[in-house]
Amino acid sequence: MTRRNPFDAVLVIAFGGPNGPADVRPFLANVLRGRRVTPERIEEVVHHYELFGGVSPLTDITIRQARGLEQRLGMQGPALPVYVGMRNWDPLLTDTLTRMQADGVRRAVGLIMAPHRSYSSCTQYRENVTAARVQSGASVSVTYVADWHRHRKFIDASQRHVRAALGQLPAELRPRARLVFTAHSIPVSMPGADRYQQQVSESAELVASAVGSTDWVVVFQSRSGRPQDPWLGPDVCEYLRDAAAASVPAVVLVPIGFVCDHIEVLYDLDHEAAEVCRELRLPMARAETVNDDPVFLDMTADVVRDVVNRYRTGVPLPIVP
């Protein structure tokens, strides 16, 4: 007998990104809504996007990730349609939830495309989904997957990308290269900052161990906000200067806190950090994020399937008098 499927679909949730130069400023207006950011800082970030044609790879990669997930669920079950909803740009969460409602979806599994939990990388997305449900009038309930920063397939995909990056260095430097794991910095005062930092370190330790390296460190990137406010550190560029001063022979930058090569990876690491390494004559390679690596896509199917199996017998009813 076929077991009951308690869900109608999967909702993949991500940050969003502009699809062309005309989108950049409206996109940043969405990102920065309610925050006090100087016009000079906004124009600086606009320039980051302009260096890459005003297009963030995030949307295309996230859609490929979603299609890969949908394909795996179709082949191995449970067969569920996969929708993509973005926080800051098309396809916006409100529009996606409206479409899901029209398609008859009532219960969805939610997969936020961020491996480590903090307010900005998890809770805020859940709040965005709740707000989008109210705005759209959609009655789609969303049940989220569990934390997956230690999932063996996430670690496996990441470590293979680290090995590929090591292969870009001269052979004599590979055994002595330091793995520099990066994640998005957040304010020290943000709820969940300690847990976030711990989860990033757990992922990094597992990947380093899988590669066979004991020489690794966790740093942070993409800081924004007021200079006087404490954020998680050290900053990747500051750390690279210290590493060069300490005669570290080579580094591999590993953006473990990101699941696709979007602008914050491309600019902050491939452009800014790479320039620092050139100035310091510090040999550097950068590992790709997991992107649409087949092993990572297998992981997304695993965590969705875990939620489906957990609720096979239905959601527990509340106890009432």
Euclidean distance between CA atoms 137 and 110, whole angstroms: 18
Q: Evaluate if residue 188 carries a pLDDT over 60.
A: yes
Residue 4 lies in a domain: no
Overall average pLDDT of the 276-283 stretch = 98
The residue among 162, 177, 167 whose CA lies nearest residue 282 is: 177
pLDDT of residue 37: 74
Tokens encoding 202: 């757990």
The predicted model scores a pTM of 0.93
Predicted confidence band at 32 (pLDDT cuts at 50, 70, 90)?
confident
Q: Count Cα atoms within 13 angstroms, Cβ side, for 99.
A: 14
Q: Evaluate if residue 319 carries a pLDDT over 50.
A: no
Percentage of residues in the chain with pLDDT exceeding 70?
A: 95
Residue 319 lies in a domain: no
Amino acid found at 264: E
Euclidean distance between CA atoms 173 and 249, whole angstroms: 7
Condensed to tens digits (0 to 9), the pLDDT of residues 75-114 reads: 999 999 999 999 999 999 999 999 999 999 999 999 999 9
Q: Are residues 302 and 254 in the same domain?
A: no
Sign of the torsion formed by the C-alpha atoms of 119, 122, 128 and 133: negative
Q: Evaluate if residue 154 carries a pLDDT over 80.
A: yes
Q: Are residues 129 and 170 in the same domain?
A: no
Q: Are residues 53 and 171 in the same domain?
A: no
Q: Are residues 143 and 187 in the same domain?
A: no
Residue 82 lies in a domain: yes
Q: Are residues 299 and 204 in the same domain?
A: no
Q: Check residue 297 and report its DSSP letter.
A: H
The residue among 123, 115, 274, 118 whose CA lies nearest residue 206 is: 115
Q: Are residues 168 and 116 in the same domain?
A: no
Q: Are residues 157 and 234 in the same domain?
A: yes
Residue 107 lies in a domain: yes
Expressed as residue numbers, the domain containing 65 is 9-148+293-310
Euclidean distance between CA atoms 118 and 262, whole angstroms: 20
Q: Are residues 23 and 142 in the same domain?
A: yes
User: What number of H helices and E strands is found in the chain?
Assistant: 11, 8
Residue 189 lies in a domain: yes
The CA–CA distances, whole Å, from 143 to 30, 62, 78, 96, 146 equal: 26, 20, 16, 16, 10
* CATH number of the domain to which 299 belongs: 3.40.50.1400
Q: Are residues 102 and 191 in the same domain?
A: no
Q: E strands within the chain?
A: 9-14, 82-86, 107-112, 141-144, 178-184, 216-221, 251-254, 284-286
Residue 2 lies in a domain: no
Three-class SS state of 130: helix
Residue 315 lies in a domain: no
Residue 318 lies in a domain: no
The residue among 149, 142, 136 whose CA lies nearest residue 259 is: 149
Overall average pLDDT of the 66-77 stretch = 97
Q: Are residues 113 and 172 in the same domain?
A: no
Q: Are residues 177 and 273 in the same domain?
A: yes
Predicted confidence band at 224 (pLDDT cuts at 50, 70, 90)?
confident
Question: Do residues 64 and 292 touch, judged by C-beta distance below 8 A?
Answer: yes
Domain count within the chain: 2
Q: Are residues 21 and 74 in the same domain?
A: yes
